[in-house]
Chain A
Amino acid sequence: MPDTVNGTTPAAKSKSVTFDGITKIFKDPQSGQDVKAVDSVSFRIEPGELVTLLGPSGCGKTTVLRMLSGFEQPTAGRIFIGETDVTQTPPNKRDTAMVFQSYGLFPHMNVFDNVAYGLKLRKMPSADIAQKVGRFLDMVGLGAMAKRPPSRLSGGQQQRVALARSLIVEPSVLLLDEPLSNLDALLREQMRVEIRRLQKSLGITAMYVTHDRVEAMSLSDRIIVMRGGHIIQMGTPSEIYRDPVNTFVAGFVGKVAFFPCTVRDISGSGCHVEVKGRSFEAPRWARELKAGDSALVMARPESLSIGEPGTGVEDGVVTANVYLGNSVESWVHTDLGDPQSGLPSDVLVQIDNPDVKKVWNEGERVSLSFDPILTKVLPEETEPVPRT
């Protein structure tokens, strides 16, 4: 499908979004106690950018989205869309459009009327509405379904209607609340690409909420990782993946292994650490580290390799091999685990081109090594590492 969005000039209407010290306190209906769902959150989304809020359930990401749409009122702080303070603006007066997790299609209207709803509210002449709705339905590939009730569409088609209904009003900000979580895996991948394509072609600023790291990585210009109502890190997908600020982010956005180490020396170009008596130089390290600290070397599956016992930094036993065609994922059980800090003892190693490389059998004793150029040195932490 080509970009047929002729009428709209991309990026002309898109606006930035600014959260300035936003706090939201809910009253727990059972205990009557105050619960801080969002705690002094500040960030800025540039015009035309797609930013994902990523975090475990209950981290406050949906609350942030609902405050931006106006369905929740912040307890403190201010929200701007562009230069306008919208903190007190009711949802129907905000130039935002939301795609809901459960789609929220109007069951008593057909596809056409659903998509036309926002335009009718804006008092657009009906001839223009018909033309524009047709264009947007074609854009999401549903031109032939205009007369159908939503109940006679598949999940993916309903999702497209919801998307078209939000996009057609040309909002300043598009909001997506876990829009793909009700779809099956294959459809989800398709829709990820679709959403990204539409958002970029229309140049709309977008905020996307998900707890699925793959979704977040594949869609976003930038990702905001949240936990317990706080922003932990904000950055591009590769920053978040390669350069996480702590073990929580490292664990939340991908498989990871941690090797205990001691910081020897920090120079301008790298952090020299010692793991099991061997020295390495890592190009990335947490700024608060200094010589003499106990720390952790973070390594992703693709930077790990398996060798004969005693050759690497940590020995273990292969417990499972998962053949994926272009790679094999080998699980190696080690003594790295620490139940207290949640550090994993089972380490995933990704072996590319498995048909030309050696794959170790299950049950064999092996040794793990890492490529220091892809690692980061992180401080030890008390907060447990999430499992992904």
Chain B
Amino acid sequence: MLLFVVAVGSWIYTSVQGEFLKRSRDGQRRTVETIAAGYPAGPEDVDGWLQRLADEGGADCEVALVDGIPMPGDEVRARGNAELAALCRASGADPEFAKGFDNAAYEEIYRSVKDWAVAGSERALLFAPALNPRTHDIDGVLVFSFGTEAERGFIQMLRTLFGVAFALFAIVIWQMMLSRDPIVGFALAGLFLMALTFVAYPLFEAVRLSFLQNGHFSLEIWRTILTSEGYLDALMGSLKLGCWTATVSTFVGFLFAFAVTRTNIAFKKLISTMGVLPVISPPFSLTLSIILLFGNNGLVTRWLGLTGAGFTIYGLPGLVLVQTMGMFPIAFLTLTGVLQAIDSTYEEASLNLSASRLKTFTAITLPLAVPGLLSAWLLVFTTSLADFANPLLLAGDLRVLSLESYIEVTGMNRLGHGAALSILLLLPTLTAFLVQRFWVARKSYVTVTGKPSGRVMELTTPGVRKALAAAIFCVIFFLVMLYGTIFAGCFVKNWGIDYTFSLENITEAITRSRDALFDTVTLAAVATPIAGIIAMIAALLIVRRRFHGKRLLEMLLMTPFALPGTLVGISYILAFNHAPIILVGTAAIIIINYVVRELPVGIEGGIASLRQIDPSIEEAATDLGADSATVFRTVVLPLVRPAFLSSLSYTFVRSMTAVSAVIFLISARWYHLTVLIYNFSENLRFGLASVLSTVLIIIVFGAFGLMRLLVRENENLMKNVT
């Protein structure tokens, strides 16, 4: 069966290719005949005729004339197209040329069997007699050269096409014939294809390009990067920024988490909400309001009279401030989980043994929380390194890797350098991941006792509690002020100069961003269901099926989670701007990028949720006659609905607020709102930027609110299900 298909396939292939070549060569032959028929009668006209041919350039070929019919050993005299004539003179003794001349002598047209390099490109040569229309003598030999790129390009395309068709066909046949469950087989084949094409291949291309110089293997790029001061500065800058942000964020996050889990502080709900809120604030929004407040013309700067006094928010301190505001929620969430999981019986025991509260905190709570603190620190650290949006607006003189790779690509058009820099960015991330995985995880003291005890252990004296509350509400006040500033920015004529109330910004922003807004929402809305469904299918297959290469598939699908957005963006433009897959400039590349980047979180959620579900529920459906697709639709999807919904809202929100990868992938046709915000901010149109940020904030919060509502409804329905 397979042999038959191969035979038929190759027959079709050879005949299509043969037919194409025949047509193309017939066309060339006709061109040659037509041109040769125009050969002038008077020898004095010949040069003019050749010149006209060269000037017109209508036919896609060059022409040279060899005088007479040279015999072997004769010197070849040729004129016409300079490069071709030079080739004729140099290679006149070649057997191919001899054959061409021979055939011309018999008034035949001859096509050389091999290609020749003319002016740096491969050309096919055709030989025709220069027949004098008056004397009917053969004055010489006309040599024509035709480009072969088109032919070769076509053949390559044909081969790719047939290769892909054959691979698909093989998969179909293999599934139909050998597998008892073709639907699962197709789903697996599709996932593998997707993972290889859109995760492995772009990364490979990025790595490959960083080792290329002029098309050859070279360590040049890496040598430049690792020795030149500028790039090392950027590396140091990234690390410095990461360390500062991680340390401050962990501290703030711990204050919040400790207050919520170990004290009887008032307004706990508010603290928890404010401790999570910034995680979903769109990029640029916090930076924007920091600039509005503390920028060179900022409200606070002016108010304190700091303008021109050497104060600037641009640079390391400003970045640490804005990153901390945006990233301390990561530490807060991690540490809340850790502190909740540490049984407060230990602290009770310590107090019971008449240790003071301070002693209990330093001797019990803090040491137990150390692994949690470390993993929170590492998480913030890697997020800070990969951060792109904040440095883009606020870096000032500070050089950081993510920004540097963006400048290399968009500013200098040095893709290889950009790729290498973003790969460099991956190394600290990878190190952090490994430390987390193999050291922190092993040292964890989190006690697994089933249910966390609901009691709250009061670990603070009233004085300490007041100080804690003061610190926390300072942070909350600052956050509220930041959001308020963006909102206020919408209604001010010209921030920093003219604070009169105005709605102009809103109308202008809406008209100027209408297309981008539409694009952004469309792209996110298309990517969301695709990512959600694929994530659930992948989770189902990973949890429930045994198949070869499961670990590989899981790894490939989870990889994008760890990749900095700049690396993803750069590797996508590297991989998809040439054959066999050209996607740059299309909506598809952006959508695929969203899907691939947000899949890991959805898959994780789906896996966790499926592990809770008794496999016999699905088996029961199968047993009653449902095929895999029906089981998925009628049983699995409803059961993992909470995970599915949160994966949907997560993908939507992340796609609406994407910057780091998408900034490389947008085109004139498909634009993104966040990039527009960036452009407005760069041009100091802060009012417009504020309006767009507010719009984004509203959309994002709306999406989360909707998800919350749907999931809660769901929880009520499923409350008693075991």
Contacts and interface: CB of A to CB of B under 8 A. Distances in A.
A and B part of one assembly: yes
Contacts of A88: 180
Contacts of B635: 106
A369 B54 CA distance: 124
Contacts of B621: 106, 117
Interface SS of chain A:
mixed
B625 A118 contact: yes
A92 B639 contact: no
Contacts of A96: 623
Nearest to B615: A104
Interface string A135-159: 0000000000000011110000000
B619 A117 contact: no
B624 A108 contact: no
A90 B721 contact: no
A71 B628 CA distance: 13
A105 B618 CA distance: 9
A69 B621 CA distance: 12
A118 B616 CA distance: 15
Nearest to A118: B624
Interface string B639-666: 1010000000000000000000000000
B620 A121 contact: no
A316 to B, nearest CB: 48
A73 B180 contact: yes
Contacts of B718: 107-108
Interface residues of A, number: 33
Contacts of B641: 108
A374 interface: no
Interface residues of B, number: 27
Given A92-B626, A121-B626, A165 B620 contact: yes
A122 interface: yes
A97 B624 contact: yes
A103 B626 CA distance: 17
Contacts of A312: none
A98 interface: yes
B616 A102 contact: yes
A69 B623 contact: yes
Interface string B216-256: 00000000000000000000000000000000000000000
Nearest to A71: B619
Contacts of B722: 107, 151
A169 interface: yes
Q: Which among A71, A89, A90 has the greatest number of chain B C-beta atoms within 10 A? A: A90
B175 to A, nearest CB: 13
Contacts of B620: 98, 100, 104-106, 162, 165
B720 A152 contact: yes
B720 A101 contact: no
Contacts of B630: 121
Interface SS of chain B:
helix
B581 interface: no
Interface in A97-131: 97-98, 100-108, 117-118, 121-122
A87 to B, nearest CB: 10
B721 A169 contact: no
Given A100-B616, A107-B617, A90 B624 contact: no
Contacts of A101: 616
A335 to B, nearest CB: 49
A104 B180 CA distance: 23
Contacts of B619: 71, 91, 98, 100, 104
B638 interface: yes
Contacts of B614: 102, 104
A107 B721 CA distance: 6
A88 B622 CA distance: 15
A91 B616 contact: no
B75 interface: no
B627 interface: yes
Contacts of A103: 616
A307 B92 CA distance: 126
B195 to A, nearest CB: 23
Interface string A203-235: 000000000000000000000000000000000
B151 interface: no
B181 interface: yes
Contacts of B721: 107-108, 149-151
A108 B623 contact: no
B179 to A, nearest CB: 9
Given A91-B619, A100-B619, A151-B722, 4 more contacts: A104-B616, A117-B624, A151-B720, A165-B620
- List the 9 shortest-distance A-B pairs measured between CB atoms, nearest first: A151-B720, A104-B616, A104-B620, A107-B721, A118-B624, A100-B616, A108-B638, A90-B180, A121-B625
Interface of A: 69, 71, 73, 88-93, 96-98, 100-108, 117-118, 121-122, 149-152, 162, 165-166, 169
29 contacts: A71-B619, A90-B627, A91-B623, A92-B622, A92-B623, A92-B624, A92-B626, A96-B623, A97-B623, A98-B623, A100-B620, A104-B618, A104-B619, A105-B620, A107-B617, A107-B639, A108-B639, A108-B717, A108-B718, A117-B624, A117-B626, A117-B634, A121-B626, A149-B717, A151-B722, A165-B620, A165-B624, A166-B623, A166-B624
